[in-house]
């Protein structure tokens, strides 16, 4: 079976932003700004695979051959809450992208994700769908969100995350080998509470000031 590709974006600006995002002394306003910016960089990398068609334009002094993106704008699906922090960066590159939301909580008994909210745009089957979930920890939430997207018609999904743990990559590879993962870093491991080490803590709490 095909294995999902994992692309770690090691551009200097991504690495600079990530170091600041990781720092415990980075305040919320800067954290929000950086998460949006790094998401733009990750979406830029994801966009390399988009199909293009040839076009020709008239410049003020002649004609130029160029390309335009083929097909419909991508959709971005944010896994609540922390995925919300990535949407703005994607929208800067694709202002007409459709935005979906998927709400999942962790059942305290089974420790497995449970869906509590789903609002997705139509036409997912015709678009690249960027699944935005910053922390790929155990991978169970991302895998369930991908199940939801596929149930809703999505056929071409890329998982965009900030930091991935090896456990999460394994889960996604098992559950969705067709989905590639684009991340800013692949970290060492999970701790006993399911946090990524060294990670950056709880991305939702850092984004919304609920620490």
The CA–CA distances, whole Å, from 91 to 35, 87, 170, 199 equal 13, 6, 29, 25
142-161: b (≥16 Cβ within 10 Å) or e: bbbbbebbbebebebbbbbb
- For ligand URA, the binding residue among 82, 142, 160, 184 (CB under 6 A) is 82
Among 34, 135, 183, 185, binds ligand URA (CB under 6 A): 135
Question: Which of 137, 181, 184, 207: binder of ligand URA (CB under 6 A)?
Answer: 137
Q: Which of 7, 73, 195, 208 binds ligand URA (CB under 6 A)?
A: 195
- Torsion 141-147-150-152 (CA) sign: negative
* Owner of token pair 């949407």: 87
Of the candidate spans 13-21, 36-44, 52-60, 188-196, the one that interacts with ligand URA by CB under 6 A turns out to be: 188-196
Q: Which stretch binds ligand URA (CB under 6 A): 48-56, 147-155, 176-184, 192-200?
A: 192-200
**Which range touches ligand URA (CB under 6 A), out of 105-113, 117-125, 154-162, 199-207?**
199-207
Cα separation, 129 vs 146, in Å, equals 10
Nearest to 46 by CA among 114, 116, 97: 97
Q: How far is the CB of 1 from ligand URA (least distance, A)?
A: 27
Place of tokens 């002094």: 61
List contacts with ligand URA (CB under 6 A): 82, 135, 137, 194-196, 199, 202-204
């Amino acid at each position: 079976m095909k294995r999902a590709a994992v692309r770690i974006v090691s551009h200097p600006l991504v690495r600079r932003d990530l170091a600041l995002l990781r720092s415990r002394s980075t305040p919320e306003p800067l954290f929000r700004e950086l998460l949006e910016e790094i998401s733009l960089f990750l979406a830029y990398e994801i966009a390399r695979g988009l199909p293009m068609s040839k076009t020709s334009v008239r410049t003020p002094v002649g004609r130029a051959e160029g390309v335009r993106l083929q097909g419909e704008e991508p959709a971005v699906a944010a896994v609540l809450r922390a995925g919300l922090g990535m949407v703005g960066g994607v929208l800067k590159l694709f202002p007409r992208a459709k935005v979906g939301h998927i709400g999942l909580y962790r059942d305290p008994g089974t420790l497995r994700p449970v869906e509590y909210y789903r609002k997705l745009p139509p036409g997912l089957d015709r678009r690249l769908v960027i699944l935005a979930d910053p922390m790929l920890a155990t991978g169970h939430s991302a895998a369930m969100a991908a199940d939801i997207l596929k149930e809703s018609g999505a056929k071409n999904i890329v998982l965009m995350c900030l930091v991935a743990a090896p456990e999460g990559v394994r889960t996604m590879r098992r559950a969705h080998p067709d989905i590639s993962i684009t991340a800013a870093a692949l970290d060492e491991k999970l701790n006993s509470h399911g946090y990524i080490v060294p990670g950056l803590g709880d991305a939702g709490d850092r984004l919304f000031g609920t620490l």
